[in-house]
A = this chain, B = another copy of it.
Amino acid sequence: LEKATKKVTQGKPAQGKKERAYHHGDLRATLIAAALSLIERDGVKGFSLKDAAVMAGVSTAAPYRHFADKEALLRAIQDEGFRQFNSALNAAYESAGTPSAKLEELGVAYVRFALEHPAHIRVMFGLRGTDDSAQDSATDGDDNASGFLLLVAAVEALHPDAPAEVRHDLVMASWSIVHGFAMLQLEGAFAVAGDNGPAEEQLRRALRLTVVNVQ
């Protein structure tokens, strides 16, 4: 009977913890999801691999069948984060018609991703300051820069006749404003400013007021 139950539930990922088969099915993804929710609560340095294992319903040694060590899990989260992030920025860029709309939608997508994936963002930006600067710059070449290039392209399309330095300044300003907005929103810092409607609408007004309609 016990074996029958196990066989029935075999192969179905993301099932209830009690009916889980001996072979989990998709422990790798489940561990990443658990880690993300723990990082959201405790931060990148504050979460523990053991807690992630417990949350996934497996023993504390199980993660080592899928990740060489804790760092490897974090790198997997970072990679997944950049992939999703760049895909979101790409979609935003493509979806918009005019250059100014492209710039605005890029900004909105940037902030939306950060607010919807706070743990991913923390890992993506938090891993930079530490250890592997070699591996980081390697990833930069592929993944990380591509969002930046879309921003450069949008600004270039919006101000084709502006001097290169001005365009560069506008790129920096745009990146800064969306990054700052996202971080302050995540930290709850804007509470001091009182509630002024949905975050996305505030952001759109701020972007139009500054970088989108500049000059």
Residues of A within 8 A of B (CB): 43, 45-46, 125-126, 128-129, 140, 144-145, 148, 165-166, 168-173, 175-184, 187-193, 196, 202, 205-207, 209-211, 214
Contacts and interface: CB of A to CB of B under 8 A. Distances in A.
Contacts of A126: 43
A166 B209 contact: yes
B43 A129 contact: yes
Contacts of A145: 192
Contacts of A211: 210
Contacts of A188: 128-129
Contacts of A129: 43, 187-188
Contacts of A214: 209-210
A111 to B, nearest CB: 10
Contacts of A140: 191-192
A49 to B, nearest CB: 15
Nearest to A180: B180
